[in-house]
Amino acid sequence: MLEGQGLNTRKMNKNIYIQLLGEGTKVYRPVQAILLEKNIYKILNHNYDPEDEEWEFVPDTKVLVEKKELEGKLVLVAVKKIYK
């Protein structure tokens, strides 16, 4: 769909981090997401297995991201579900 609009979707895909729930400590999983607009991404369905991990935000969810430092690196972390 976006390809037909002359957009390069490959450049808009990015790794963002999602918190894993039920791990006993804060743990984050890098996942592929597509940029929709500034600071808003849609999580892609990449290797998601709800039997193995509980993600704070599941694939196809639109999320607001913020820059946070994880393990000494500044990364984009999903912080809130977007309903629009």
Domain count, the chain: 1
Quick check: 9 pLDDT over 50? no
26: containing domain: 3-81
Q: CA–CA separation, 65 vs 16, rounded Å? A: 8
Quick check: 4 pLDDT over 70? no
Letter for the amino acid at 32? Answer: Q
pTM for the complete prediction? 0.82
pLDDT in tens, 24-60: 999 999 999 999 999 999 999 878 888 899 999 999 9
Quick check: 20 pLDDT over 80? yes
Quick check: 78 pLDDT over 70? yes
H or E stretch at 5: none
Q: What is the total residue count of the chain?
A: 84
Determine contact, residues 22/54, Cβ cutoff 8 Å: yes
Quick check: 63 pLDDT over 90? yes
